[in-house]
Amino acid sequence: MAESGLVEQGTPIAETRRRQIEGVASALFRERGYAGTGMREIARGLQLRGASLYAHVGSKEDVLFSIVERAADRFATAISPYLHADGMSAESRLRGMIRAHVLVLTDDLEDATVFLHEWRFLGPERRARILARRDNHEQAFRDSIAAGTAAGDFRLVDERLAARSLLSSLNGIAGWWRADGPLSADQVAEAYADLHVSGLLTEASARHSGRFQR
Amino acid sequence: MAESGLVEQGTPIAETRRRQIEGVASALFRERGYAGTGMREIARGLQLRGASLYAHVGSKEDVLFSIVERAADRFATAISPYLHADGMSAESRLRGMIRAHVLVLTDDLEDATVFLHEWRFLGPERRARILARRDNHEQAFRDSIAAGTAAGDFRLVDERLAARSLLSSLNGIAGWWRADGPLSADQVAEAYADLHVSGLLTEASARHSGRFQR
């Protein structure tokens, strides 16, 4: 955790403080953008003076990196059970991954939005690290699509474009879904899984899964 | 055009100047974010002093609004031929709209990115106007999907979610496509049209269009 850049670490109180700081910062970054948010505003949101904030946090970029890295952790953890689920059909695997991704997004919209849009304001090194993690995540979806094609369940598509299209579509959910809206996160996850999987199934698999009976 | 907020208007020179200002501003907004860009940087990019810029432009928000509104115009114009194309099949219409949307995006990645991500920094009134235009655009895709279902070409889906998923997927292209990359804008537009239309076609339409022969 040394790379998270937070000065005071390792105790439960420090951890609680860190979460508070990141919660306030994440809401501000989402609302005003990273560039439009100062350490002073973050401190004010915590009822601290600006100088006191630096006892907890090295810099604004450290806070951004910590938020973005935790979000990357959550996405990776959520899809990991599906990556080597050998007994599972390609369709079930991809559905599980879509569902897991959507539930991480909707579980914390602020962090997700910062992860999706503000990560590009990181410095070059940290930006490259987050980019590598985003690439890994995309690769997992690509592999899942390719495995489905190899198994004869999915049609032959450019899995690189299919994975990008899929992830952009899912990430868009953070822009319009609201916890108090008409659709639950589960309903959205299921509907998106249906839309995307339907576009990939071969005729035989589609018949089998009842797609054309609807 | 009074609402574009630009002070000097109506002459070819003013129009050229406006485009130059917006070009520089759009590149800066994309790179640093709207909040992270000052009028001073925009002026510097044009080799003007800050004060001179105000002879051409009322405020930074005016420049943002003008960029965003022009982008909204281009998207609306691009899909308009398909909105009342009565002789066209649902599949051809939706393909045409997808293609048109992708080509506007890729034609000016800077303006497109500002349109997609920075519009939320507009003041409440202008933000509401742009939101209404985004809603109209989404509605056009929704109507196109619903018309395909009514004609028996597309399966029954929640056309609201299908349109959102589709547009999020297309808009994601602005995040990774590059003019000097391996795929032309046309190739990407065709591939995305295939992916999305395949997910919507009924069995009979899919057979007819040869989807399962691939």
Count of residues for chain A?
Answer: 214
Residue B202 in contact with partner chain A when CB distance is under 8 A: yes
Interface probe for A, chosen from B165, B184, B188, B208 (most Cβ of A below 10 Å), is B165
Q: Is B12 exposed, middle or buried (0-12, 13-18, 19+ CB in 10 A)?
A: exposed
Taking the C-alpha atoms of residue A103 and residue B201, their distance in angstroms, rounded to an integer, is 28
One digit per residue, the tens of pLDDT, for chain B of length 214 reads 444 445 555 677 778 888 899 999 999 998 888 988 999 999 999 988 877 888 888 899 999 999 999 999 999 999 999 998 888 999 999 999 999 999 999 999 999 999 998 998 999 999 999 999 999 999 999 999 999 999 999 999 999 999 999 999 999 999 999 999 999 999 999 999 999 998 898 877 777 766 554 4
Q: What is the pLDDT of residues A139-198, one digit of tens each?
A: 999 999 999 999 999 999 999 999 999 999 999 999 999 999 999 999 999 999 999 998
- What is the per-residue pLDDT for A85? 80
Which residue is listed with tokens 């035989």? A204
ipTM for this prediction: 0.87
Query: Are B33 and A32 an interchain contact pair (Cβ–Cβ within 8 Å)?
Result: no
Q: What is the pLDDT of residues A23-55, one digit of tens each?
A: 999 999 988 889 889 999 999 999 888 778 888
Structure token digits, residue A26: 């994440």
Residue B119 in contact with partner chain A when CB distance is under 8 A: no
- What is the per-residue pLDDT for A207? 72
Q: Is B88 exposed, middle or buried (0-12, 13-18, 19+ CB in 10 A)?
A: middle
Q: Compute CA distances B161 → A35, A139, B142, B191, whole Å.
A: 32, 25, 9, 21
Mean pLDDT, chain A, as a whole number? 89
What's the predicted TM-score (pTM) here?
Answer: 0.89
- What is the per-residue pLDDT for A50? 74
- What is the per-residue pLDDT for A201? 87
Q: What residue spans define the domains of chain A? A: 12-58, 61-209
CB-nearest partner of B214 from A32, A156, A175: A156
Q: How many CB atoms neighbour CB A136 within 10 A?
A: 12
Residue B191 in contact with partner chain A when CB distance is under 8 A: yes
Question: Does the structural domain A61-209 have CATH classification 1.10.357.10?
Answer: yes
Count of residues for chain B?
Answer: 214
Which residue is listed with tokens 């046309």? B186
Taking the C-alpha atoms of residue B37 and residue B172, their distance in angstroms, rounded to an integer, is 23
Taking the C-alpha atoms of residue A34 and residue B22, their distance in angstroms, rounded to an integer, is 22
- What is the per-residue pLDDT for A212? 52
Which residue is listed with tokens 């899809």? A79
Among chain A residues, CA nearest to B212: A203
Return the CATH fold of B12-58: Arc Repressor Mutant, subunit A (1.10.10)
pLDDT over 70 percentage in chain A: 93
Per the DSSP assignment, residues forming a β-bridge with B6 are: B57
- What is the per-residue pLDDT for B35? 86
pLDDT at A65 over 90: yes
- What is the per-residue pLDDT for B85? 80
Question: What average pLDDT score do residues A93-103 get?
Answer: 97
- What is the per-residue pLDDT for B211? 56
